[in-house]
Structure formats: C-alpha cells, structure tokens
Chains A and B, each alone.
Chain A
C-alpha cells in the first residue's frame, strides 16, 4: 500500500469540499481521480501534499502517517505533484527548473555552494546529468537553455512532470496533465506516464480526458460533490449507472437544456 486516504473530510467555512473520502493506492499502480468540475479533486491533492490540513481524517504513506507534516517534508518522503494551472519557475531555464526539482535530494549549503569542495562539484554534476536525462525523457532535450515561460503550453506541462520526477518521488500526483493538449501531445503524454510507471513510480492522476484516463489507469475513483461515487477498474466505471448519470448524464441534460 503506497497511499491510504482514510475518511477525509474538508470544510471551507460552511461548504464541505470533501466528505468522508477513502482511497487506497497500491504500489506501481496508475490511479485515476475523476469527477465533474468542483468535485474536490484538486482539494484532495492539496490535502495529500498538506498545502492545507483536512478537517478530519488521516493519510498514511507506506504506513506512515503524513497528516500535519510540512509540504516540503512530504516531498522529501517521496510524494511530488504537478499543478493544474502550470506553476513553473517562469524566468528560469528549462534545465534550472528541473535542477530545482532535485533540491531535496541534494545537500550543498551556503559555504559548500560558494567554496565548491569536490563533494559539491560532484553533486552539482549529478544533478545536472539527472536533469538532462529527465529532459530527454519528457522530450525537451533541445530546450535546455530556453527560459521556461517561452515554452509552448504542452512543453510546459511536460517540464512540470520532469521537475516533479527530479525529486525521485515514489508517488507522483498529476493534476490534469493533458489539459490544453492536442491529440498527438496527449498520445505522447500517455507514453510518458507509462515510462514513469516503468521507473517504479506510482501515479495518481486527475484528468478530464476520458479516453486517456480509461486507457491509462489501473483503477479509478469518481468524486461528485466531494463524495466518493464509485471505485473500480475503467470497465467497471464505464458501466456504473450512478457514474453515467452523475457524470456523463449531466452533459446530455445540458445539451437538451
């Protein structure tokens, strides 16, 4: 068990964004988290990474309770995320962005950074090589020195993934990685996530692109209005009447209206 989410509730003022949600994610899985807008998916990510605490409930990561731990320590433990609205370090180059990702796996402090003993130079060299390798993985090899805000949208999304992988996560949280991508880019993204899985990383993904989710995920949880509506394999989800009504059915209603 990589991640166990136990009875999470989250209230913002009087509004409950999440109500009693439990999810268990096994090692090596690609796990999908889907649901209509406002269902509480990103809230769940923010709670897992402790950007804010849950109102009640617990989260354990490899049987270790992580609720209440500072976000940067959670990254240190091996959970890293990407953001729905891309949050790159916009004035850094592509390579530097990925090198920042390796921050918690390196140690150099002020003095060793300035006086550069051999250990620091070796470490810096390793970070650089790792970053170059990851940029190759996400298909950005030619863009090392490009300032990241000048990259195309799809490239920025892939750079975010590279930056997150640079922290050597055991669990990678992807928040709508295919948003705004065309079909070719989405196909490339599919391959990329599969490669990430092959590296032994467990993936939890929020995504609206249903064909991608159904093809990619081993298991899926559907959220609706902050409640868990269904859980199962892509096939089970596709045939679940409650899901069809809440999720797909509502679109038909909209069309009729």
Chain B
C-alpha cells in the first residue's frame, strides 16, 4: 500500500536537505557572532572520518562514532578558533578556507588510515542499523506494505528530521538568551560589547566551536547515510556550497539558513531536465542575489512580516508567556 507512494529517491534527497540544513546552521551560528568561517567543509570532514574510522575499525555503535566525530571537530574548532581570533572579516575567511584545504590534503595523504583519494567504503549505514533494530523487535516492513529499502530511507529521514527539529529549537532558544545577546552584541560592535563587560574571546571561540561541532556532526551523519566518503566530499567546493546556503537564504535569521539549504538542494534536482544549463542558472541566481538582495532571501523584515501574518501563533506565545508570569 504505502510502498506505491514512497519513492526512495525523494527520501534520499530529503535526507540530504536535512544534513545540509545542519551545515547551513553551522555557518549561521558562527556568523551570529560576526565571524565568517569557511572551514565548515574541513570540520565536516573531521567529523565524517572520525566517526567512519571508529565504527569500521573498532566496531563501535554509530551513535558513539557520531558523538566522537562531533567532539573531535569541536576540539579542532577550539584549536583553530583561538589563534584565528585576531582575524576578522575576509582574513578569517581566508584562514579558515586554508584550514579546510589542509584537512583535505591530510585526508588524501594519510593513506594508511584514510585510504587516500579512494575514500572509505563500507561505513555502517544508519538506516540498515535501524532496520535491523526493528527486525529484532519483531517488526516487518512488509506488514505495512513497504519494501526494505523504502523503510530504511524513511527511517533515516524521520531520524534526521527529529535531529533537525532539536537543533533548530536549541539555537532559536540560545538566540533569545543571554548568550545569544552577547553574540549579537559582538557582531554589531565588538568594542562596545567589550565595554559592556562581554568577554569577547570566550564568546567568539564559543560560537566558532559550536559551528565546528555542528559541521562535524553533519559530516558524521553524512558518512553514515551515504556509507561512503572520500576527500573530494570535503573539498573547496563544499565550503563554498555551505556558504551559499547562508548567503542565498539569508544569514541574519536561522530560517534563512534553513530555506537556503532546502532551496539549494532541491533546485539542482528539480532542474535536471535542463541539466546542461543547471549551473548557469545557479550562477545567475547568485549574481542577481548579490546585486539586489545581499542580505539573502529571508531577513529580519520578512520575519517581522511573517509574525504579523500569523496572529494565531503570536497570540498563543503571548498566552504561554502570561502563564509563566503567574
């Protein structure tokens, strides 16, 4: 029954969108304290390789691998973040881009462990593990009319969706807290923020590291969803792609990053029928964006407008706030 409606191809694209959203948020978080990092691809690679190697060679559960991958990326984030603090704007962008390139070369050349340019294959697949788990629990996908591979992709999609909801919730809440205000203050005026008692070193490294952890996390998920990674996945073009998610969608608000990642993942697929002109259209869109809307499609003004358009939601949030007061 269900099997007729669910196309694994669409589910796979859905999964890529969700992973890309995490990457877009990673660049958004770093940008929210005014730092433009192009190292996301490098951190993504660290997360992916760490998790893949741990699960392949030490037979660790995927969950442990993913957590380790994120942490290792985070630690590298601190190590790169601290000396990069003196840099700002385009200089930081160049330094982090250099870091990404160093990582790629590292993955290519450390052949005994990373298998070089050939890449790592046979990485445990999240979907298959989940399927096994459900089978052990005595559940058969065919009982709801699905083939195994459909069920697998569906499980991955649902899992990634839950993860995304948590991450978005986390950073929306953080944004509205003392930490979020400190990030915004540093972004708007570093000197004034310092004069107001904000420890800018701490908060800049914090936001840089959060971005690194997220990118590493997305990388680890990427490895376990694709089951195959190679250094080319984390090269220069990936860094630019992630940057474009935020630049196109809008880097001022989290919804912008989400929109950018979604749109930029769907578009190449949707434009497959004119695939020869795909990248041309891609480029044109970006040129027009930069000329007419450099802040990205979704900015603060649109968020304000959306809030006015959705009065019911607004009313509800006011209601809950009143309850808290009591």
- Beyond A71-B195, A103-B197, whether A120 also contacts B177 by CB under 8 A is yes
Does A211 touch B at the CB level, under 8 Å? no
- B313 → chain A closest CB, angstroms: 18
Does A67 touch B at the CB level, under 8 Å? no
**B127-178: which residues lie under 8 A (CB-CB) from chain A?**
170, 173-174, 177-178
Residues of chain A within 8 A (CB-CB) of B182 are: 100, 103
Does B199 touch A at the CB level, under 8 Å? yes
B44-52, B60-68, B186-194, B255-263 - interface stretch: B186-194
Judging by beta carbons under 8 Å apart, are A87 and B173 in contact?
Answer: no
How many chain A residues sit at the interface, stated as a range, is 35 or more
How many chain B residues sit at the interface, stated as a range, is 20 to 34
Judging by beta carbons under 8 Å apart, are B185 and A89 in contact?
Answer: yes
* Chain A positions 142 through 163: 1 when the CB is less than 8 Å from some CB of chain B, otherwise 0: 0000000000000000000001
Judging by beta carbons under 8 Å apart, are B192 and A87 in contact?
Answer: yes
In the bound assembly, the distance between CA atoms of A113 and B177 in angstroms comes to 5
Does B324 touch A at the CB level, under 8 Å? yes
- B26 → chain A closest CB, angstroms: 15
A13-21, A73-81, A217-225 - interface stretch: A73-81
- Beyond A75-B195, A103-B196, whether A114 also contacts B178 by CB under 8 A is no
Judging by beta carbons under 8 Å apart, are B177 and A103 in contact?
Answer: no
The interface residues of chain B, by DSSP majority, are classed as helix
Judging by beta carbons under 8 Å apart, are A89 and B177 in contact?
Answer: no
Judging by beta carbons under 8 Å apart, are B196 and A167 in contact?
Answer: yes
- Beyond A72-B198, A72-B199, A100-B196, whether A51 also contacts B174 by CB under 8 A is no
Does B206 touch A at the CB level, under 8 Å? yes
Judging by beta carbons under 8 Å apart, are A121 and B188 in contact?
Answer: no
A91-99, A177-185, A238-246 - interface stretch: A91-99
* Chain B positions 190 through 216: 1 when the CB is less than 8 Å from some CB of chain A, otherwise 0: 011111111110000010000000000
Residues of chain A within 8 A (CB-CB) of B198 are: 72, 100, 103-104
In the bound assembly, the distance between CA atoms of A110 and B74 in angstroms comes to 15
Which single member of B173, B185, B189, B196 contacts A75 (CB below 8 Å)?
Answer: B196
In the bound assembly, the distance between CA atoms of A110 and B173 in angstroms comes to 10
* Chain A positions 94 through 137: 1 when the CB is less than 8 Å from some CB of chain B, otherwise 0: 00100111011010111011111000110110010000000000
Residues of chain B within 8 A (CB-CB) of A202 are: none
Judging by beta carbons under 8 Å apart, are B197 and A80 in contact?
Answer: yes
Whose C-beta in chain B lies nearest to the C-beta of A149? Answer: B188
Does A90 touch B at the CB level, under 8 Å? yes
Residues of chain B within 8 A (CB-CB) of A109 are: 178-179
Judging by beta carbons under 8 Å apart, are A100 and B194 in contact?
Answer: no
Does A247 touch B at the CB level, under 8 Å? no
Does A214 touch B at the CB level, under 8 Å? no
Judging by beta carbons under 8 Å apart, are A87 and B179 in contact?
Answer: no
- Beyond A92-B184, A96-B181, A116-B173, whether A83 also contacts B192 by CB under 8 A is yes
Does A39 touch B at the CB level, under 8 Å? no
Residues of chain A within 8 A (CB-CB) of B184 are: 89, 91-92, 96, 100
Judging by beta carbons under 8 Å apart, are A88 and B192 in contact?
Answer: yes
Judging by beta carbons under 8 Å apart, are B181 and A80 in contact?
Answer: no
Residues of chain A within 8 A (CB-CB) of B196 are: 75, 80, 100-101, 103-104, 163-164, 167
Does B300 touch A at the CB level, under 8 Å? yes
Whose C-beta in chain A lies nearest to the C-beta of B178? Answer: A108
- Beyond A90-B188, A114-B174, whether A81 also contacts B179 by CB under 8 A is no
In the bound assembly, the distance between CA atoms of A39 and B227 in angstroms comes to 68
Residues of chain B within 8 A (CB-CB) of A90 are: 188-189
- B4 → chain A closest CB, angstroms: 42
**Known A100-B185, A103-B198; further 8 A-B contacts with Cβ < 8 A:** A72-B199, A80-B196, A87-B195, A89-B193, A91-B300, A100-B196, A109-B178, A110-B174
Q: List 6 A-B contacts (CB under 8 A).
A: A51-B191, A76-B197, A103-B185, A104-B196, A104-B197, A113-B180
B residues with a Cβ closer than 8 A to A are 170, 173-174, 177-182, 184-185, 188-189, 191-200, 206, 300, 324
A residues with a Cβ closer than 8 A to B are 49, 51, 70-72, 75-76, 80-81, 83, 87-92, 96, 99-101, 103-104, 106, 108-110, 112-116, 120-121, 123-124, 127, 163-164, 167
